[in-house]
Structure 1
Amino acid sequence: MLRKIGVISDTHIPRFTQLPEAIWDYFAHVELIIHAGDLSILGVIAQLETIAPVVAVQGNVEREEVTLKLPIKREIVVGNCRIGIVHILGEATQYAQTARREFPTARVVIFGHSHNPYNQEHDGQLLFNPGSATDRRRQPSCSIGLLTIDDEAGSVQGEIIALNV
């Protein structure tokens, strides 16, 4: 079975007034949305849940309502794929070591914080940062991500999607 998972991070609502409309198109056929933190308010989850169920972790600039409800890190299983989720994975030069230490059996580790998209395999573990959906910082565009999990083949692929916002 092929599974599509939407991945988003660093939405920073209400600092940015709304989620980009393109999200509804890109995530229209996903079975799950993973938010890797810095939602700022829980209303972001409610908006995304109009598309698909949402699993999220807290980031480092959350309002109290978010920190009281969401964990700092979590691990889930989608099909045959174990996925670790955390907002801050540390320094870029240490991503692979930190991911393996924090999520030793995860096939994928999803993270945010830097606003820099990242989609690379490290010794059988896919490290995936979708970038920021609302704040491109030094990037050419805002971005989100899609994971495609193929249960039959036992594979997973990440795709970074640039948004024109």
Structure 2
Amino acid sequence: MIHRIGVISDTHMPPHKRLPESLWQIFDDVELIIHAGDLSTLAVVAELETIAPVVAVQGNVERDDVVTKLPIKREIKVGGVRIGIVHILGESKYYARTARREFPDARVVVFGHSHVPYNEEYEGVLLFNPGSTNERRRQPTCSVGMLIIDDETMHVQGEIISLE
């Protein structure tokens, strides 16, 4: 079986009023959406759940409702693949080391915070940051991500999708 997982982070709502309309098309056929934090409000989860079930963690700029409801980190399993989820993975030069320490059994570690897309494999672990949905900062565009997991081969592929 092939699993398609939408990945989103740093939606920052508010101050942003809504999610980009293109998300409904991009995530149309996903079975799950992972939100890697900085939702700001739980209303983001409810809105994304109109597309697919959502698994989320809190970020570092959350309202109280998010902090009381969501964990700082979590690990899930999709098919036979373990996915660690956390908002802040630290400095980029230490991503791999921090990921291995936080999620020793994970095949994928999803994170956010930097607003910089990142899709690199290191010693058998895919380190994946979808970038920011609403605040591109120094990036050319805002972005989201897609994880594609093949149960038969246990292959995992990440894709960064620009929102133009």
Give the TM-score normalised by structure 2: 1.00
State the Cα distance separating 1:14 from its structure 2 match: 1.5
Q: Deviations over 1:50-90 (max 9, x none)?
A: 00000000000000000000000000000011000000000
Give the Cα separation in 2 of the matches to 1:78 and 1:15.
32
Segments of 5+ residues of structure 1 without an aligned counterpart are none
Q: Which residue of 1 aligns with 2:32?
A: 32
Q: Which residue of 2 aligns with 1:83?
A: 83
Paired AA for residue 47 in structure 2 = Q
Q: Which residue of 2 aligns with 1:162?
A: 162
Give the Cα separation in 1 of the matches to 2:47 and 2:111.
21
Q: Which residue of 2 aligns with 1:55?
A: 55
State the Cα distance separating 1:25 from its structure 2 match: 0.4
Paired AA for residue 160 in structure 1 = I
Paired AA for residue 50 in structure 2 = T
Paired AA for residue 144 in structure 2 = I
Q: What count of residue pairs does the alignment treat as equivalent?
A: 164
Q: Deviations over 1:77-118 (max 9, x none)?
A: 000110000000000000000000000110000000000000
Give the Cα separation in 1 of the matches to 2:154 and 2:35.
23
Q: Which residue of 2 aligns with 1:140?
A: 140
State the Cα distance separating 1:26 from its structure 2 match: 0.3
Dislocated runs of 4+, deviation >3 Å: none
Segments of 5+ residues of structure 2 without an aligned counterpart are none
Q: Which residue of 2 aligns with 1:131?
A: 131
Give the Cα separation in 2 of the matches to 1:74 and 1:53.
16
Q: Which residue of 2 aligns with 1:70?
A: 70
Give the Cα separation in 2 of the matches to 1:37 and 1:106.
19
Paired AA for residue 54 in structure 1 = V
SS in 2 for 1:39: coil
Give the TM-score normalised by structure 1: 0.99
SS in 2 for 1:33: strand
Q: Which residue of 2 aligns with 1:44?
A: 44
Give the Cα separation in 2 of the matches to 1:133 and 1:26.
12
Give the Cα separation in 2 of the matches to 1:99 and 1:120.
12
RMSD: 0.3
Give the Cα separation in 2 of the matches to 1:128 and 1:83.
10
Give the Cα separation in 1 of the matches to 2:17 and 2:107.
34
Give the Cα separation in 1 of the matches to 2:25 and 2:122.
31
